[in-house]
A and B are shown apart, each in its own frame.
Chain A
Amino acid sequence: MEAVIFFIAAIGAVGGAIGVVAARNPFYSVLALIAHLFSLAVLFLLLTSAFVAAAQVVVYAGAVMVLYVFVVAYVGSAQEAKWDPVPGQRLFAGLLAFFLFVEISAAVLSSGLRALSTHGPDVPAGFGDPAAIGNLLLEKFLVPFEASSVLLLIAAVGAIVLAGRKRQGEALGASK
């Protein structure tokens, strides 16, 4: 049963990812991304990480995707350039991606990790539930947790600086 769900979710994830890059219409790209993120959430569930799966759906498939949709609707599907900005870029990028794929496959397949081809490690009860993650954030990872709050503050300040920039530019344009 687990294996069946895994393959359905895995195919969904890969298919969604391909859809994101392959779709011509940005809206379809965003929809494909949602499918991709949902499939990932299912994979997280299979790894007994209920909290991460929920966060994935709420934060990414929910909040972040709404932002994406807004941006796409706001900017509109402007005609994108059909030509490569750098000659041979697509071929080169494809080759690089292929080599990275081969490299990572080789690394994973030839790894000496013992649990790779088994059903996976036996996790203790309560592993990955919100309480356990909350404990981790406030015990082991207290510093990164606090630092992230400063990071968010800085990011908010940065957003205001850049938004203020546009206002000033408009004021400048109006005064001309």
Chain B
Amino acid sequence: MSGAGFAAPHVDYAATAPIIALTVGLVVILMSGVFETTKRWAPGLAVMTLAATAGLLLWHWNDQIDLIAGALRVDNLAISISLIAIVSAFSTILLSIRERAAEEAGQGEYYALLIGSVLGMVLLSEAENLVTFFVAIETLSIPLYILCATNLRREGSLESGLKYLIVGSLGSATLLYGMAFIYGGTGSTDFAGIAHGIQANGMLHDPLILIGIALAAVGLAFKTSIAPFHQWTPDVYQGAPTPITNFMAVATKAAAFAVFVRFFVVALGPETGDWQLGLAILAAISIVVGNVGAIGQDSLKRLLGYSGVAQAGYMLGGIVVASEKGLSSLVFYLAAYLFMNLAAFAVIVARERETPYGDDIRGVRGLMAERPSLAWPLTISMLALAGLPATAGFIGKLYLIEALVEGSYTWLAVFIAVGTMISLAYYLRVVAAMWMGGEETAAGTSAAPGATPVISGASPEADPVDPEAGRRWYLLAPAVIAAGITVFLGVIPQPLVDFATHAGSSLF
């Protein structure tokens, strides 16, 4: 009987502690939602869970451990990406305070789903086995499908959740199809085993592996919203509750890019020459489509969605070169992107609650005169996303371009530079709306206060107007701190460079 040969795998509880902490936190938060009195604790419990996880992750900084029969690997890349996801989730919790979506989904459920998604991200960034990879990417996605749809009284929210579900499932299916080909060709589900199988079975440049790589790349491109697989991004970003958009934009991208680079460098390393050009072309398309698509968007969330497509293109450049420098610049850019995006989304949340315009650009018109403490973070965020000097965005792009030039992909570096120039058109439009166009322009375009303006994707009765939202600490603090960090890292980038270099050295 083969069952007699059961040998339980060795479990290193110290190294799996972050995952255990997240799972325990998830269950506790879920249970807190049962009683009226404990319901209010859910955000606090979620913050505690995230803090504990972050601490346990940092404990393993500079370790390189393979866990539980090669399912997971704890290294600096996994830890740094997990930390980015955790900080993003923490900011999302702050932005979700008094958010309608959290009330309507139920506090316990809302935060449990959020923590569940973080669990998926931590697993995904540590995955080094195809099966773990797939289960993790589903654990990441399914809570997000639901969270997108939690804003009950907005039609766009349900549409967003459904759209994300369908497109996400398509992406997952494509990814799974690719994995099946790769497993079929190499006979292994471990990343290291796949690399070995490609060499040992004489599968180098074999069409079966190549089509597997192509399908897997398409599946991951869906998750990271790389053009031409990005069509869902603007719609989903716009329809989802804004705090969730903030989370999706950064954390999902970070985790998907982590597994993207680990899978392609470790498992498909022998085929590097075959996939480099394909990914470079995807990156170039993404940069063009994202930047051109963002021009003329009136909804700030759509604008940031398209901008996210372009930024994903820049970041993909870090994978294309398949070098330590490329990976470091990718991690640097992801961390910078976290703060740049957070500053923008915190302001959008505040303006959504303050004005009847939702996330329309009219909501920020004349903001500099009205609320300088919100206008400055948004200005810094827009300039940083555009890549102006003295911001983290500039340093990030500089590193990416440097890595591309060193990896002899100078033409892609030129695309990044040109894309940056195009992007100024729409980023500066937001800045201009804030600094100019005071009351008189606003009065010219809007109806009387209290009337129902017809804006796509936003209905005023869905978002209660809280005229003081811009002064609430839980919105002001994330915006100001994120903007501050963006400028700080633009002037003194060394701490983040060290962080990213450590992460980059874990694969090469």
Residues of A within 8 A of B (CB): 103-104, 106-108, 110-113, 126, 129, 131-132, 134-135, 138-144, 147-148, 150-151, 153-155, 157-158, 160-162, 164-165, 168-169
Are A131's CB and B2's CB within 8 A? yes
Are A112's CB and B206's CB within 8 A? yes
Are A139's CB and B146's CB within 8 A? no
Are B149's CB and A147's CB within 8 A? no
Q: Closest 7 CB pairs between A and B?
A: A158-B146, A143-B71, A111-B208, A131-B3, A107-B207, A107-B211, A154-B116
Known A106-B207, A142-B68, A142-B71; contact A151-B139, beta-carbon cutoff 8 A: yes
Are B2's CB and A132's CB within 8 A? yes
A-B pair count, CB < 8 Å, reads: 129
| Across-interface contacts of A106 in B (CB, < 8 A) | 207
* CA A143 to CA B67, docked complex, whole Å: 9
Closest Cβ–Cβ distance, residue B116 to chain A (whole Å): 4
Most chain B CB neighbours (cut-off 10 Å) among A148, A151, A168: A151
* CA A148 to CA B137, docked complex, whole Å: 11
* CA A123 to CA B503, docked complex, whole Å: 42
CB-defined A-B contacts under 8 Å, sample of 13: A113-B185, A113-B208, A129-B2, A140-B71, A144-B129, A147-B132, A147-B135, A150-B26, A150-B119, A151-B138, A154-B143, A165-B150, A168-B104
Contact string against A for B residues 59-71, beta-carbon threshold 8 Å, 1 for contact and 0 otherwise: 0000000011111
* CA A113 to CA B68, docked complex, whole Å: 30
Are B71's CB and A131's CB within 8 A? no
| Across-interface contacts of A165 in B (CB, < 8 A) | 104-105, 149-150, 152
* CA A111 to CA B211, docked complex, whole Å: 11
Residues of B within 8 A of A (CB): 1-3, 5-9, 11, 23, 26-27, 30, 67-72, 104-106, 109-110, 112-113, 116, 119, 123, 129, 131-132, 134-136, 138-139, 142-143, 145-146, 149-150, 152, 181, 184-185, 201-203, 206-208, 210-211
| Across-interface contacts of B201 in A (CB, < 8 A) | 113
Are B150's CB and A161's CB within 8 A? yes
Are B131's CB and A126's CB within 8 A? no
Q: Smallest CB-CB separation from B110: which chain A residue?
A: A161
Closest Cβ–Cβ distance, residue A120 to chain B (whole Å): 12
* CA A147 to CA B127, docked complex, whole Å: 12
| Across-interface contacts of B27 in A (CB, < 8 A) | 153
Return the contact of B71 from the options A108, A144, A150, A162 (Cβ within 8 A). Answer: A144
* CA A169 to CA B154, docked complex, whole Å: 12
Are A112's CB and B202's CB within 8 A? yes
Are A134's CB and B3's CB within 8 A? yes
For the complex with contacts A139-B6, A141-B131, A162-B146, 16 further pairs of A-B residues with Cβ separation under 8 Å are A107-B210, A107-B211, A110-B207, A111-B206, A112-B206, A113-B208, A134-B3, A138-B8, A139-B8, A141-B129, A142-B68, A144-B71, A144-B134, A157-B116, A161-B105, A161-B113
| Across-interface contacts of B110 in A (CB, < 8 A) | 161
Are B132's CB and A158's CB within 8 A? no
Are A143's CB and B104's CB within 8 A? no
| Across-interface contacts of B208 in A (CB, < 8 A) | 107-108, 111-113
Closest Cβ–Cβ distance, residue B317 to chain A (whole Å): 27
| Across-interface contacts of A155 in B (CB, < 8 A) | 142
Known A131-B1, A161-B109; contact A168-B152, beta-carbon cutoff 8 A: yes
* CA A151 to CA B300, docked complex, whole Å: 33
Are B6's CB and A147's CB within 8 A? no
| Across-interface contacts of B149 in A (CB, < 8 A) | 162, 165
Are A157's CB and B206's CB within 8 A? no
| Across-interface contacts of A164 in B (CB, < 8 A) | 105-106
Are B146's CB and A161's CB within 8 A? yes
Q: Smallest CB-CB separation from B6: which chain A residue?
A: A135
Return the contact of B113 from the options A103, A111, A147, A154 (Cβ within 8 A). Answer: A154
Are B7's CB and A139's CB within 8 A? yes
* CA A12 to CA B139, docked complex, whole Å: 34
* CA A104 to CA B203, docked complex, whole Å: 16
Q: Smallest CB-CB separation from A124: which chain B residue?
A: B2
Closest Cβ–Cβ distance, residue A101 to chain B (whole Å): 12
* CA A161 to CA B150, docked complex, whole Å: 8
| Across-interface contacts of B143 in A (CB, < 8 A) | 154, 158
* CA A135 to CA B69, docked complex, whole Å: 13
Return the contact of B203 from the options A112, A135, A168 (Cβ within 8 A). Answer: A112
